[in-house]
Amino acid sequence: MSFKNVGIVGLGTYVPEKIMTNYEFEKIVDTSDEWIKTRTGIEERRFAAPDQGASDLAVEASKKALKAANLNPEDIDFIILATGTPDYLIQNTACLVQEKLGAVNAAAVDINAACSGFVYGLTMGSSLIKSNMYKRILVIGTEVLSRAIDMEDRNTCVLFGDGAAAAILSEVEEGYGILSHYLAAEGEDGGALRTPAGGSKTPVTSEVLEKRENFLKMKGQEVFKFAVKALPKATLGAMKSANITPEDISMVFPHQANVRIIEAAAKRIGISVDKFYLNLNKYGNTSSASIGLALGEALEKGLVKKGDVIALTGFGAGLTYGSLIIKWCY
């Protein structure tokens, strides 16, 4: 069995039109634009329209990715969709995307690694291609977190936004593509970041709704402490596997959660924070979509070129974390 070089050959992003600024949150909860910007770096985020679900955002991003790769939906033979906010609890969102996109030849599956989902999905997809099981895989990170947050909880509602990113994986020329990966998880998190009710463990009841346990809950300090350790561990682990140093990295695309987390992680990794691409000020935390949204924006600006060595690195609920080192192929 021959193993292939696998890389991203097309990438697309999508964010809803509605912009929610910090000033609008001042009218909803006890907060301020200054407080949010100082502690998170977020200035605004996008919220999906009432008729948009995670699959709708995913389809728009996927169309752009297919166009960038000069491929048709029929060319895709597997769809891996990462989300924590699926359209439905039962019936995976990847199948909805398959139907809406017209990817009739593709198998389809959802994964949930929260904010690490895009990295997990790319790693899984590249492994399937390297083992000659599939040729072209569509990996998507899509979230409609505006439906999962408690608009009465000022500690969480200001953090999250909606969006989607899609990448086409395929065989690439030797020496390019994904050079290494690092995936990990720490399940003993004590519920640091979860939606307490709505699953099989705790179904939605009138009591659940009264306590607002059907919304996302987060222990901020615990997540912060985890993140500033997890991002460096994952990034350095992937760099070690690729046999490269911090000096070899052209740019880092971290999960866009909090500017303080990213600044602290940059110091531990030994890479200047100037090499970390940030757009969380415009989109907030879009979970599984955030890394792809950042990479897509950088590509549109011409900041990533063929031969650049970049790192994608994230952390999320679970707790999960992971990183990829990629030598860009176009």
Q: Are 41 and 206 in contact (CB under 8 A)?
A: no
Band of pLDDT at residue 2, cut at 50, 70 and 90: low
Q: What is the pLDDT of residues 91-111, one digit of tens each?
A: 999 999 999 999 999 999 999
Q: Are 288 and 141 in contact (CB under 8 A)?
A: yes
Distance (Å, whole) CA 208 – CA 196: 9
- In the chain, where the domains are located: 6-175, 179-327
Q: What is the pLDDT of residues 148-170, one digit of tens each?
A: 999 999 999 999 999 999 999 99
- Average confidence (pLDDT) over 42-57: 98
Q: Does domain 6-175 have CATH number 3.40.47.10?
A: yes
pLDDT of 3 over the 80 cut: no
Give me the active site residues, please.
Answer: 115, 255, 285
Q: What is the pLDDT of residues 72-92, one digit of tens each?
A: 999 999 999 999 999 999 999
pLDDT of 1 over the 60 cut: no
Architecture of domain 179-327: 3-Layer(aba) Sandwich (3.40)
For position 191, what pLDDT does the model report?
A: 85
Between the alpha carbon of residue 24 and those of residues 52, 147, 218, 261, the distances in Å are: 21, 17, 22, 25
For position 186, what pLDDT does the model report?
A: 94
Between the alpha carbon of residue 203 and those of residues 97, 114, 317, the distances in Å are: 27, 20, 20
Q: What is the pLDDT of residues 6-20, one digit of tens each?
A: 999 999 999 999 999
- Average confidence (pLDDT) over 214-242: 95
> How many percent of the chain have pLDDT more than 70?
99
Kindly state the tokens that stand for 237: 């682990």
Q: What is the pLDDT of residues 136-151, one digit of tens each?
A: 999 999 999 999 999 9
Distance (Å, whole) CA 144 – CA 267: 32
Band of pLDDT at residue 189, cut at 50, 70 and 90: confident
Same fold, 6-175 and 179-327: yes
Q: What is the pLDDT of residues 18-28, one digit of tens each?
A: 999 999 999 99
